[in-house]
Amino acid sequence: MEYVLLLFITPLLAIISLSISNHVVYGKIQAVFSVVMFFAAVAMAYTVVSTGAPIVFWDQAVYVDGLSALNVLLISLVGALAAIYSKDYMETEFKEKLITKGQLRFYYLFFYLFIISMFVASVVNNLGLLWVGIELTTLISALLVAFYGKQYALEAAWKYLIMGSVGISFALLGIIFIYISSLSIEGHQIFALQWTELCKVASQLDPHWFKIGFVLVLIGFGTKAGLAPMHFWLPDAHSQAPSPISAVLSGVLLNTALYGLFRVYTIANMTITTGVAEYLIIFGLISVAVTVPFITVQSDLKRMLAYSSVEHMGIITLGIGIGGPIGIYGALLHMFNHSLTKSLLFFSAGVICHHYHTKQMQRITGLLKTMPIIGGIFLLSAFAIAGSPPFSIFMSELMILIAGFKAGYLVVTILFAVLIVLIFAGMMYYIVRMVFGTASTRIEKIKFSPWIAFSLFVPLTFVILCGFHVPNFLNELISAASSVIQQGVVK
């Protein structure tokens, strides 16, 4: 319980510290707070894994099981890396007079509010409050997308706000239908919409209402998670936000929306016995397929990365839909791998775009010559995100493929394999041209900041390490999370 509270108190303290500290030290202070926040999350996840029981308090209002702990850990890890990265990234923008002192404060304020709202969504036991948390993330992050206040940023933010809010209204309607499906059960009003209680009475829920509810939640949270065909806002929002925010948006906000979807999916599997998984498989596969043409004709680096997020959300959804112990474990491992690899890519893309003063891929050439370290990291992480061995994403994609064949989804799995090969080819075409090739003489060599180096090397370690061996703690955490999706409340 202490760790969960610490998890919320640290970002709040970070926000308070903004009002009493000078803008020169903002970056350092925020980085320190974010590291404390990360360790609180580790301690919390460790408690959940070692005791094997969820952390429950405040009359069951807060409920942290393996799935919540995994999501919170990812949010705090990517959040901490983004905060450390922001220190020099935002200071450079400030020195170049791209942003003002007030904007710098605004940035950190909303950064932490954004993190807190994702924490709220992940630790509450109630589907209604889960919705409130996810809607809050939209509202707060829309302002972060609009941060630079330029035309494109405003357009992206507006599209994101409107599509996100409408989509998520459908999720609310779905949750209300789920509530209605529980009305016939005695004493429902006391525990209304509590996830643990819904799990216990899952077989008594009205399947007719629940099914409509589930489909609406799938559309709603699917919009927020960027599943195709509701993904149109995503490439705009993720490419227009400041790079550390792009990393948080792509790396963990999408996961949080999927987290909400999987909570409902768990109950749906118990209430409606057949045909639920197919919805996830179809949406997952469409999301992977839709990105193929967009990645192959892309000219903007950050947009390409954003489309790749649509693809990976599709893969995770597909893995969960295929199911079975391997499929679900693979999907959750993929969630972890994607978060770290994608934030690594956005971080390095941020440095690259700053240095070249453009996001257009054709104008970025000779990365290995102008910035050998960043260029090298960028090349490795691009290989990793495209799913080449020996990196972590290859492992989790392989698991999902194996699970697919085992479960007998032959056509789906073969189609999936073909699509990821196509995406690999499409991405590599651009990446190789950017990394190799002749460097423009106008680009001077780069000074490498230790803050940015740290936020690049930590995820890189995981991206490489998890390709060979999943650390014990992580393995147990993901196993705990996958048993939540398979069985609901762990007995």
Partner 1 sequence: MDAFFAIVLLLSTLMLFRINKVVDAVVIIALQSCILAIIATMIWLETGIGHVLLAACLTFLIKTLLIPAILFRVSRGEMAKRKIKRVFSSHYSVFIALVLMILGYHVAAYLPLAENHHGQAYLATSISLLLLGTFAMIDHNHPIMQGIGLIVIENAIFLIPLAISYGMPLFIELGIMLDMLVAAAVIATLTLKIYNVFHSINTSRMQNLKG
H/E stretch holding 190: none
Closest CB to partner 1 among residues 265, 307: 307
- Taking CB under 8 A as the binding criterion, the range among 20-28, 232-240, 338-346, 380-388 that sits at the site for partner 1 is 232-240
Q: How far is CA 154 from the centre of its chain?
A: 22
- Taking CB under 8 A as the binding criterion, the range among 292-300, 355-363, 373-381, 384-392 that sits at the site for partner 1 is 292-300
Question: By CB under 8 A, is residue 158 in contact with partner 1?
Answer: yes
Question: By CB under 8 A, is residue 169 in contact with partner 1?
Answer: yes
Q: In the set 3, 209, 210, 383, which binds partner 1 (CB under 8 A)?
A: 209
Q: Which residues contact 139 (CB under 8 A, 6 or more apart)?
A: 161, 165
Closest CB to partner 1 among residues 108, 179: 179
Tell me how far apart the alpha carbons of residues 208 and 196 are, in angstroms, rounded to a whole number.
21
# chain residues binding partner 1, by CB under 8 A? 46
Min. distance of Cβ 238 from partner 1 in angstroms? Answer: 11
Question: By CB under 8 A, is residue 294 in contact with partner 1?
Answer: yes
Directed axis angle between helix 66-95 and helix 450-468, to 10°?
A: 150
Question: By CB under 8 A, is residue 358 in contact with partner 1?
Answer: no
Question: By CB under 8 A, is residue 303 in contact with partner 1?
Answer: yes
Closest CB to partner 1 among residues 12, 25: 12
Closest CB to partner 1 among residues 131, 451: 131
Residues numbered 173 to 192 that lie near partner 1 (CB under 8 A) are: 173, 176, 179-180, 183, 189, 192
Question: By CB under 8 A, is residue 152 in contact with partner 1?
Answer: yes
264: tokens are 């409902």
Closest CB to partner 1 among residues 32, 212: 212
Tell me how far apart the alpha carbons of residues 269 and 271 are, in angstroms, rounded to a whole number.
6
Question: By CB under 8 A, is residue 151 in contact with partner 1?
Answer: yes
Q: How far is CA 45 from the centre of its chain?
A: 18
Tell me how far apart the alpha carbons of residues 380 and 431 are, in angstroms, rounded to a whole number.
10
End-to-end CA distance of the chain: 20
Q: What is the dihedral of CA 166, 68, 126, 63, to 10 degrees?
A: -160
445: tokens are 């060599």
Q: In the set 20, 186, 297, 438, which binds partner 1 (CB under 8 A)?
A: 297
Closest CB to partner 1 among residues 178, 377: 178
Tell me how far apart the alpha carbons of residues 82 and 344 are, in angstroms, rounded to a whole number.
10
What is the Cα Rg of the chain in Å? 21
- Whether the CB-CB separation of 144 and 108 falls below 8 Å is answered with no
* Site of interaction with partner 1 (CB under 8 A): 126, 128-129, 131-132, 135-136, 139, 142-143, 146, 149-152, 154-159, 161-162, 165-166, 169, 172-173, 176, 179-180, 183, 189, 192-193, 206, 208-209, 212, 235-236, 240, 294, 297-298, 303
